[in-house]
Amino acid sequence: MRESYLDRDAAEGAAELLKVYAQPQRLMILSCLLGGPRVVSDIEACTGIGQPALSQQLATLRRAGLVTCERESRQVRYALSTNQVCACMAHLQDMFAPQVAGKAVRGVPRRV
């Protein structure tokens, strides 16, 4: 196991980034983008988040460096920004996302 020690500044930076992840709508957006780049209308359909809130959350994710955006004609396509963000979201989904047919999430007992 690799030992890692954060100094105060690094720990504060990590905590600030974790605050960005720790919001349900943003997690839904990031999860949707784990499947690949999407335009805003696709993200809205995937998550059910309405346009004003979706725009606000995408702006927060963009400022935090978790997503990138690229204009294509009249549409904006969003994508996860780095392999680290993809790996983080994949791990979060492995830990917390409900599984098909009510199977228990790895390491978390299924509620009855």
Residue 75 belongs to what H/E stretch?
A: strand 75-80
The whole-number pLDDT of residue 87 equals 95
Residues 26-60 pLDDT 10s: 999 999 999 999 999 999 999 999 999 999 999 99
The whole-number pLDDT of residue 9 equals 86
Task: Report pTM.
Answer: 0.80
Domain definitions of the chain by residue range: 10-97
* Fold classified for 10-97: Arc Repressor Mutant, subunit A (1.10.10)
Q: Sheet harboring 75-80: ordered strands across?
A: 38-39, 75-80, 67-72
pLDDT bracket for residue 1 (50, 70, 90): low
Residues 55-109 pLDDT 10s: 999 999 999 999 999 998 889 999 999 999 999 999 998 888 766 435 444 444 4
The whole-number pLDDT of residue 99 equals 60
**Cα–Cα distance between 77 and 21 in angstroms, integer?**
20
